Amino acid sequence: MILFTVTPVAAITLVPLYGFTIGYSAYDWAAFVLMMGFCGISITAGYHRLWSHKTYKAHPALRAIFALGGACALQNDVFHWASDHRRHHQHVDDNDRDPYSAGRGFWFSHIGWILRTYPSSTRDFSNIKDLQQDPILRFQHKHYLALVLIMNIAVPAFLGYLGGSVIAGLLLSGLLRLVLSQHVTWLINSIAHMWGRQTYSDKSSARDNPVLALFTYGEGYHNYHHTFQWDYRNGIRWWHFDPTKWLIMACSWVGLTRDLKRCSPLMIETARLEMQYRHAAERCDALANAETLRARLEAEYQDLKHSLELWAKHRQDWYDAKTSELHDQIHERWEKLALRDSYKQARYQLKLKQQRWRELMQGFSNLRPEAY
Ligand SMILES: [Zn+2]
Ligand SMILES: [Zn+2]
């Protein structure tokens, strides 16, 4: 409690005080941004997507960097963090077993769960036996306090020294960075379980919140994450802001990461379609005499689902054919071309039906009992 009270109070008083009296240089701010990114990405790419969920494998050098960054973020060692987080996914929204259940309110899920010992946060490492095999994580666990002090005092002081002011380094790269990076992470437990869309599932309170993704290195797509937690991505579209995903992917090009897991597009699209269908059906059911409309919805839904499955099948066949050894026999080439054309046709058909579905959904969202 002392730590989480003193650091924010010190940050909102000492940081501006020094800024107004002496001032920070551009270098001090650059070091601050660098340290923010280092802590944040170590938590999202390391603690979260690598260790808690095992969505990919990482080179020991990268694991060591993430272990240092996690100690810098002062969010406990990987064993505690991943153990809590795995329980969060397993018992999400269960107030007695989810360590930071959003059902207990904003304050509890944001920071309250850390301030006191609740039954839901009892230490139990039985769910992280795999992580306990990693010598890097055992080292971090054993020397956690020393690493915290080095990363939070020695490193910011050194960065400050390089820029000409040890105090400026300690205040910006040390104190302000620590407080901000902690609260940013906690926003995922609080806001990402309260505000946003339930795009893929409503089985948990997790929400997709693109605005939050901007501050959390891509972790704002939390509904997707809770639905497909083994996927190394959180934002799956190219326009989704997910720097954690970009980093993991870029690292795979130079051999620092491998075995990146992705959920199949069929599963993703089926989940999304089902949510849209259920919402539209609920609206329909609320209307009187809407049997024809309901029948139309049902038919379109089944039709689109069928097209999706067909598209996925042809896509797989075409990818298999593409990666298979090409023999010089003419009929094998012929077969390949036929598979490619079937895939293209299925993709075109799917696009048309998706467009019709979108228009139908738009109609349903404008549906009013009096207008019908
Ligand atoms: Zn997670
Ligand atoms: Zn969550």
The 3-class secondary structure across 74-134, one letter per residue, is CCCCHHHHHHHHHHHHHCCCCCCCCCCCHHHCHHHHHHHHHHCCCHHHCCCHHHHCCHHHC
Q: How far is the CA of 228 from the centre of ligand 1 (A)?
A: 9
Cα 188 to Cα 213: distance, rounded to the nearest angstrom: 9
Neighbours of 361 (CB within 10 A): 17
Please list the ranges in the chain whose pLDDT falls under 50.
371-372
**192: which 2 tokens?**
């990402």
Looking up tokens 């494998």 gives 57
Residue ranges per structural domain of the chain: 2-258, 265-365
Q: How far is the CA of 229 from the centre of ligand 2 (A)?
A: 10
Q: What's residue 368's pLDDT? A: 66
Phi-psi region of 325 (alpha: psi -120 to 50; beta: other; left: phi over 0): beta
Q: What's residue 335's pLDDT? A: 82
Task: Tell me which amino acid residue 40 is.
Answer: G
Q: What's residue 327's pLDDT? A: 61
* Cβ(196)–Cβ(208) below 8 Å: yes
Q: How far is the CA of 314 from the centre of ligand 2 (A)?
A: 35
Q: What's residue 372's pLDDT? A: 45
Give the DSSP H/E element, type plus range, for residue 317: helix 291-323
pTM: 0.89
Q: How far is the CA of 226 from the centre of ligand 1 (A)?
A: 7
Q: How far is the CA of 185 from the centre of ligand 1 (A)?
A: 12
Q: How far is the CA of 171 from the centre of ligand 1 (A)?
A: 31
Ligand nearest to the CA of 43: 1
Residues 6+ apart with CB under 8 A from 359: none
Neighbours of 21 (CB within 10 A): 7
Q: What's residue 260's pLDDT? A: 97
Beta strands in 238-326 (DSSP E): 257-258
Ligand nearest to the CA of 82: 1
Q: What's residue 369's pLDDT? A: 57
Burial of residue 300 (number of CB atoms within 10 Å: 0-12, 13-18, 19+): middle
